[in-house]
């Protein structure tokens, strides 16, 4: 026998080499497909998130129109005399106020905390400053107008009086 590879051995080596190349190519295609699938899933998730944000902030325009009505209702309820709080019409307005707040809550709208909090220019708008003994500087003393966020983003700043 000769040390020279036979034709059959050469063909087998070529087949093995081709098989390795095909397996490598197959793995490249599989990896590419996995990346494309992951990119598609990410794109789909981002598009859905963007769509939800558009809907939420389209609602923000409507909410900005409704908030003054809520403010007026809250102010009216503050001015109801104590001896009239059990009257049916007062309880009706209180019920409407609760419904309004519940609706806003389901839409992701939250009222910004004010009195007693430290002033935060991202959430609050200072409309006045006032000296008050025993109060740390930049503490919110009073709220003139409520502020609101939707999904953590400010749609209306709270107007407040701040300690000096």
**130-151: pLDDT as tens digits:** 998 888 899 999 999 999 998 8
Q: What is the pLDDT of residue 3?
A: 63
- Looking at residue 72, what DSSP letter applies? H
pLDDT at 1 over 60: no
Which residues lie below 8 Å from residue 74, measured CB to CB, with a gap of 6+? Answer: 97, 146
For the entire predicted model, the pTM comes to 0.62
Q: What is the pLDDT of residue 81?
A: 93
How does 115-141 read in b/e, with b if 16+ C-beta sit within 10 Å? eebebeeebbeeeeeeeeeeeeeebbb
Q: Contact at 8 Å (CB) between 140 and 162?
A: yes
Angle subtended at Cα 143 by Cα 159 and Cα 94, rounded to the nearest 5 degrees:
115
Distances (CA, A) of 42 to 38, 53, 106, 136, 158: 6, 16, 27, 47, 36
The enclosing H or E element of 163 equals strand 158-163
Q: What is the pLDDT of residue 54?
A: 80
Condensed to tens digits (0 to 9), the pLDDT of residues 69-86 reads: 999 999 999 999 999 999
Q: Residue 123: which of 97, 156, 150, 92 has the closest Cα? A: 156
**160: number of Cβ within 10 Å:** 26
Burial of 24 (0-12, 13-18, 19+ CB in 10 A): exposed
Instruction: Tell me the three state secondary structure of residue 125.
Output: strand
């Amino acid at each position: 026998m000769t040390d020279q590879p036979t034709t059959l051995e050469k063909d087998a080596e070529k087949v093995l080499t081709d098989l390795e190349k095909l397996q490598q190519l197959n793995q490249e295609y599989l990896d590419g497909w996995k990346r494309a699938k992951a990119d598609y899933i990410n794109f789909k998730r981002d598009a859905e998130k963007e769509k939800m944000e558009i809907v939420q902030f389209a609602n923000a325009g409507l909410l900005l129109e409704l908030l003054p009505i809520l403010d007026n209702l809250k102010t009216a309820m503050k001015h109801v005399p104590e001896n009239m709080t059990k009257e049916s019409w007062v309880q009706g307005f209180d019920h409407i106020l609760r419904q309004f707040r519940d609706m806003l809550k389901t839409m992701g709208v939250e009222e910004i905390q004010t009195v007693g909090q430290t002033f935060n220019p991202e959430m609050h708008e200072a409309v006045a400053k006032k000296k008050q003994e025993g109060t740390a500087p930049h503490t919110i003393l009073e709220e003139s107008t409520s502020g609101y966020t939707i999904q953590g983003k400010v749609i209306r700043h709270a107007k407040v009086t701040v300690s000096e």
